Structure 1
Amino acid sequence: MDFTGLISSLPTLPFFFTMFLAIYLSAHFVIFRNWSPKLRPEAASCLISLAHGTPAVFLAIQAIIADTTHGFASINTRFQNSVLEYSIAYFLMDLCHYLTFYPTDILFIAHHLATLFVILTCRYLVFHGAYAVLILLALAEVTSLFQNVWTLSSARRADSKIAAQVFAFLSPPFYALYSVVRGLAGPLFVYRMVIFYSSGAADNVVPRWVWVSWISVVIMAISVSILWISNLWIELYKERIFKLEKEKKIR
């Protein structure tokens, strides 16, 4: 299928936002209607994240490959702009979700606002730099499938044996993949961005304040991600130690 032609021919931002809204409402009132009202909003958020994450990775990669002249200073192609709008629509929808159900969750709201700033300035202000932004997007979303299944199973593990088993099985590989992507691949690519943009090679198309803002946002996001996954590794280690000690006492 020619995704390039299909995506580029759509009135992308309104179309994609309507799509994510429809998925979100379907999750609330159809797919997760039997879940408790406390868990339903988080499940709906996970579903739109699933609809965005993995497709965004493949679309971003295809949009980059389709542009044979891609680089940190290259002008955005029409297809790349459409993929950026696909992510803008998702983050706007999920931001509405957090403002409605979790208005005090400042960390996630700030994350979404910062991410939107990067994508919006790339798409509507400088019209350059989609190559870098799309690679960052792909790195951020490559763990989306695992993370959302992990989140959903975590939400139901207290009252579902299957969910508890999925959570226990998925945690180590998810943590490992997330650690490699956010702790190694992400920082290495950001380093390449810093080297290129600080050379001044893109100052005529991506103003210094823009790329400095992008780098700052990404570094903060990576730092928070590393802290988050580090805490999860610690929790997993403590749980395993507790389980081993409990088994020893039984014996």
Structure 2
Amino acid sequence: MTPDRALYLYAAATADCAVAALSGVGNEPVELLVSDGLCLAASDVTTADLAAVGDDAADPRLVADLAQRHDAVIRAVAGAATAVLPFRLGVVVTDRAAAHRFLAARAAELRSGLALVAGCDEWGVTVRDDGDPAAARDGDEPGQPESGTAYLLRRRRHFDRIEQRRRTGLELVAATEAVLGELAAGVAPGRRDGSLLLDRAYLVRRDEQPRFVEALDRCGDRLVADGFALRVTGPWPPYSFVSDLKVGADE
């Protein structure tokens, strides 16, 4: 490789992966580098182009294009292999020799990770409180004068409703987590959005996914009945269940 070129890594996968012609970042062809039962999905990349999306001033359109191409390759690999470990956006090594050194050095770690996610997909689940209109009305100013006692009683009702809603939300979320957790092979934190009552990624075996979806429907019905919103995304490649595979300087 010349200094202005590198090798972009999309994912590690089992060596049974066989994808058709596929274009990746920069419209470069994707290749599979195979070694000892493992493979890396990779393509050449211009380092200047990659640097252009690697800082806070990056053009959002370039970053979005990179992310879409990155995800498209990973999805194609996931559909063609027993298991896949997606890499984070922007992982590169110097050349193909470095990629093979990476496979050799991390073989045990990669095999362990692939065994964990084999035959599984990731599902994202969040729960949001859409608010209680009745509680909001309790806190409104009255339409006519009221006594001090009436004011205190109204405010007490308001805060009692807020506390009751908090307890209801906690109970519903705990029940949802218990039901979904029983059907999942793994659970990971989501985006850590503090405004959400629940934000989890679930690793679900494909043969369990019909039961998982049925459980989501039941939990969603219970939540909606009390004014809470369940949002589900997926199935995805197992992005949330990959350890941070850092690439060393010699790679």
Same-fold call, TM cutoff 0.5: no
TM-score band, normalised by shorter chain: under 0.3
Q: TM-score, normalised by structure 2?
A: 0.28
Query: Whose radius of gyration is greater, 1 or 2?
Result: 2
The structure richer in strand per residue is 2
The structure richer in helix per residue is 1
Q: TM-score, normalised by structure 1?
A: 0.28
Relative contact order: is structure 1 or structure 2 higher (C-alpha 8 Å, sep ≥ 6)?
A: 2
